[in-house]
């Protein structure tokens, strides 16, 4: 859905939102307009402060004076809207419009990213590469713990320092922008979004495995630009992938694949179970601090005077009694305790659910059990959030609007629950392979029109594609093997499977096509002879690397011209010399050398990868030229 909106349009949206966000930051510091809306005599304004109403904080009525409503708009309207966007439209909209993500890409857009200097040990030749987070580094293995920790610190900081002091909130947001730009300078791709942004765990909870209206990346052709993957507009005005494989698996390419890949990792349990306690304790603390709910629901916390001066005031006010524990300690203690408590309760619930299933003799895979618990957590915390989220602003609207909003929240979350509960890794795999099967069936000269009832192959769902494969006349064993081989080859090329996992992943397809495990091994052997690079242990293929190389391949088409005409075999020999460092790329190609070098740097393409792709393109060009010459005779 959202992935089909052009990058040109989304670029404009990002600029508008970024300008609006920066303007809001200015209003946090200097706002000469909105205080007028809170004047007691302004009876037409919903933000008017009625001096006859007493909002108590620790037993004392707060003196409310005219104030800016910028903070209230940000915390009680924009932030809740972001949560709704994530559940309804998934990550693919959020990642394409997020101003912070957009600003983190400024160094890349300006071409000023840090470059790593590399010296070839054999030739001494110097080359430069853009930096990426190493795959086996501490950050790559623990980024979710880091992001959740930053989220916890950020929420504590909100209550203690940021909520109501305009200049502090402005500094906080400007600091976040600066850090995002710095990370964008130090690392390539969406490293800020993937490894550092505190919003990422929230995005994962509400946006995975997919939003209510999210597109399905695994059911699209491998040549399409899916979901929120990085993209650019080429000189011809066409969208091209700009993926540099900064993270594997990548949520921007396929959120559901990322979800199933990490579902059994312990960091997922922390963010799903712990986030419930973090949300609850954030809002509950206002009650523990003020001694009533009026303080929160009135929105007084968005404009409390001298917030920083209250750091050492009593942090709790329970049963009309102040507890002499400084607020500076009470806030992190409360949020930390409830986060730990909800995580512990989540583990206990998981254990109890597994015991219940064993008692009922229901055999369910660990992945499905975890998925059902995570799905319930998302459904529960979404509705829990909107018990409080946005209420200080929403309560100013008519009761009918409040009722409609409550209905919307329940309806949306229930539809999301219904759509998500039945998902499974097996269903995801079946749908992914059905897409590949559909593609191969369309290449065969088979009469399938009589079975489609006026529909096209692309309109069939996964189950219908498998049924069709069984009943098509003329779909002989030889053609089934041909189709299976093509699907297996494509899956290996994309990194969807490897030689060891392919037997299990494609098991369902073999059953549908009436093929044995022995057939699979025989086809693997044939592919190994025809294309040994598919099984090269030094070339670990992933879908992210496939997207990266495919983007590079699309960008350099038309840039390459050999120095002299030669056969594809001759060109291949020369490119092999490039790989062996016996020749440089400039010795083989003359046209747009600088453009090719620049694109190699942009896509983090090695000389070996570039040589292989250039050979493929040249061979294809030669074949096309020969075909044209033969047709003209």
3-class DSSP string for 592-617: CHHHHHHHHHHCCCCHHHHHHHHHHH
Closest listed residue to residue 143, CA positions, set 238, 214, 246, 235: 246
Count CB-CB contacts under 10 A for residue 370.
Answer: 18
State the Cα–Cα distance between residues 470 and 450, nearest whole angstrom.
14
State the Cα–Cα distance between residues 183 and 200, nearest whole angstrom.
15
Question: Is the dihedral angle over the CA atoms 11, 14, 20, 21 positive or is it negative?
Answer: negative
Output the pLDDT for position 171.
94
Output the pLDDT for position 587.
56
- Its pTM surpasses 0.85: yes
Closest listed residue to residue 183, CA positions, set 99, 258, 245, 108: 108
Burial of 398 (0-12, 13-18, 19+ CB in 10 A): exposed
State the Cα–Cα distance between residues 579 and 611, nearest whole angstrom.
7
Residues of the chain under the 70 pLDDT cut: 1, 120-127, 221-223, 558-593, 618-633
State the Cα–Cα distance between residues 329 and 103, nearest whole angstrom.
34
State the Cα–Cα distance between residues 313 and 333, nearest whole angstrom.
15
Output the pLDDT for position 1.
65
Q: Answer whether 114's CB lies under 8 Å from 186's CB.
A: yes
State the Cα–Cα distance between residues 147 and 201, nearest whole angstrom.
7
**Residue 37, phi-psi category: left (phi > 0), alpha (psi -120 to 50), beta (remainder):** alpha
Closest listed residue to residue 395, CA positions, set 93, 53, 97: 53
| Cα angle value 492/4/379 (rounded, 5°) | 85
State the Cα–Cα distance between residues 162 and 173, nearest whole angstrom.
10
DSSP sequence for 359-383: HTT----HHHHHHHHHHHHHHHHHH
pLDDT in tens, 95-153: 999 999 999 999 998 989 988 777 766 666 666 788 899 988 999 999 999 999 999 99
State the Cα–Cα distance between residues 131 and 601, nearest whole angstrom.
10
State the Cα–Cα distance between residues 560 and 236, nearest whole angstrom.
17
Tokens in use for 428?
């995801």
DSSP sequence for 183-219: HHHHSSSSHIIIII-TTHHHHHHHHSS--TT---GGG
Closest listed residue to residue 331, CA positions, set 75, 152, 74: 152
Burial of 377 (0-12, 13-18, 19+ CB in 10 A): buried
Parse the chain into domains and list their residue ranges.
2-421, 425-535, 557-632
Q: Answer whether 239's CB lies under 8 Å from 103's CB.
A: no
pLDDT in tens, 564-576: 444 555 555 665 6
State the Cα–Cα distance between residues 272 and 343, nearest whole angstrom.
8
Where helices occur in 495-516 by DSSP H, the ranges are 502-505, 507-512
HSE of 345, CA atoms in CB hemisphere, 13 A = 12
**E-assigned strands of 91-238?**
115-119, 126-130, 231-233
Closest listed residue to residue 346, CA positions, set 384, 381, 385: 381
Count CB-CB contacts under 10 A for residue 396.
Answer: 16
Q: Answer whether 427's CB lies under 8 Å from 505's CB.
A: no
Instruction: Based on DSSP, count helices (H) and strands (E) in the chain, helices before strands.
Output: 29, 8
Q: Answer whether 57's CB lies under 8 Å from 307's CB.
A: no
State the Cα–Cα distance between residues 224 and 215, nearest whole angstrom.
12
Give Rg (Cα) of the chain. Answer: 29
Output the pLDDT for position 620.
64
Distances (CA, A) of 144 to 30, 172, 334, 543: 36, 22, 22, 21
Name the 3-class secondary structure at 95: helix
Count CB-CB contacts under 10 A for residue 560.
Answer: 21
Count CB-CB contacts under 10 A for residue 486.
Answer: 16
Residues in the chain: 633
Question: Is the dihedral angle over the CA atoms 362, 366, 369, 372 positive or is it negative?
Answer: negative
């Amino acid at each position: 859905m959202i992935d089909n909106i052009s990058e040109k349009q989304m670029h404009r949206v990002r600029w508008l939102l970024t300008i609006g966000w920066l303007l809001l930051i200015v209003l946090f510091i200097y706002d000469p307009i909105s205080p007028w809306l809170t004047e007691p005599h302004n009876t037409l304004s919903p933000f008017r402060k009625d001096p006859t109403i007493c909002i108590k904080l620790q037993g004392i009525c707060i003196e409310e004076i005219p104030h800016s409503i910028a903070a209230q708009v940000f915390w009680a309207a924009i932030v809740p809207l972001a949560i709704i966007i994530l559940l309804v439209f998934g990550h693919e909209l959020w990642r394409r419009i997020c101003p912070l993500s957009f600003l983190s890409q400024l160094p890349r857009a300006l071409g000023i990213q840090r470059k790593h200097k590399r010296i070839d040990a054999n030739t001494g030749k110097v080359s430069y590469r853009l930096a990426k987070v190493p795959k086996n580094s501490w950050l790559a293995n623990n980024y979710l713990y880091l992001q959740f920790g930053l989220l916890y610190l950020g929420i504590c900081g909100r209550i203690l320092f940021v909520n109501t002091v305009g200049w502090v909130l402005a500094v906080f947001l400007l600091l976040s922008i600066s850090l995002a730009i710095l990370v964008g300078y130090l690392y390539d791709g969406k490293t800020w979004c993937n490894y550092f942004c505190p919003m990422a765990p929230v995005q994962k909870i509400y946006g995975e495995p997919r939003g209510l209206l999210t597109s399905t990346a695994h059911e699209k052709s491998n040549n399409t630009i899916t979901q929120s993957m990085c993209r650019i507009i080429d000189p011809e005005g066409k969208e091209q992938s700009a993926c540099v494989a900064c993270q594997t698996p990548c949520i921007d390419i396929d959120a559901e694949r990322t979800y199933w890949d990490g579902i059994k990792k312990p960091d997922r349990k922390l963010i799903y179970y712990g986030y419930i306690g973090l949300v609850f304790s954030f809002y509950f603390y206002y009650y523990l601090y003020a001694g009533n709910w009026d303080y929160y629901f009135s929105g007084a916390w968005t404009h409390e005077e001298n917030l920083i001066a209250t750091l050492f005031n009593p942090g709790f006010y329970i049963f009309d009694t102040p507890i002499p524990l400084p607020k500076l300690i009470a806030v992190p203690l409360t949020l930390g305790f409830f986060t730990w408590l909800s995580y512990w309760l989540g583990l206990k619930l998981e254990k109890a659910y597994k015991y219940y299933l064993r008692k009922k003799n229901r055999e369910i895979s660990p992945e499905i059990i975890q998925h059902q618990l995570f799905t319930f957590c998302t459904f529960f915390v979404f509705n829990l959030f909107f018990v409080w989220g946005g209420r200080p602003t929403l309560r100013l609207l008519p009761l009918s609007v409040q009722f409609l909003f409550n209905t919307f929240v329940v309806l949306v979350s229930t539809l999301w629950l219904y759509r998500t509960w039945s998902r499974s890794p097996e269903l995801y795999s079946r749908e992914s392979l059905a897409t590949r099967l559909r593609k191969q069936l369309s290449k065969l000269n088979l009469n399938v029109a009589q079975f489609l009832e006026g529909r096209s192959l692309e309109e069939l769902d996964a189950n219908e594609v498998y049924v069709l494969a069984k009943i098509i006349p003329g779909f002989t064993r030889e053609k089934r093997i041909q189709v299976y081989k093509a699907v297996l080859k494509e899956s290996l090329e994309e990194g969807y499977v490897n030689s060891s996992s392919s037997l299990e992943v494609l098991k369902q397809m073999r059953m549908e096509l009436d093929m044995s495990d022995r057939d699979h091994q025989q086809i693997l052997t044939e592919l190994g002879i025809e294309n040994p690079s598919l099984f090269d242990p030094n070339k670990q293929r992933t879908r992210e690397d496939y997207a990266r190389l495919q983007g590079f391949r699309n960008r350099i088409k038309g840039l390459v011209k050999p120095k002299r005409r030669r056969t594809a075999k001759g060109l291949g020999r020369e490119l092999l010399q490039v790989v062996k460092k016996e020749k440089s790329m400039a010795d083989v190609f003359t046209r747009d050398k600088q453009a090719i070098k620049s694109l190699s740097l942009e896509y983090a393409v090695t000389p070996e990868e570039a040589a292989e792709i250039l050979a493929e393109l040249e061979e294809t060009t030669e074949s096309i030229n020969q075909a044209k010459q033969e047709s003209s005779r």
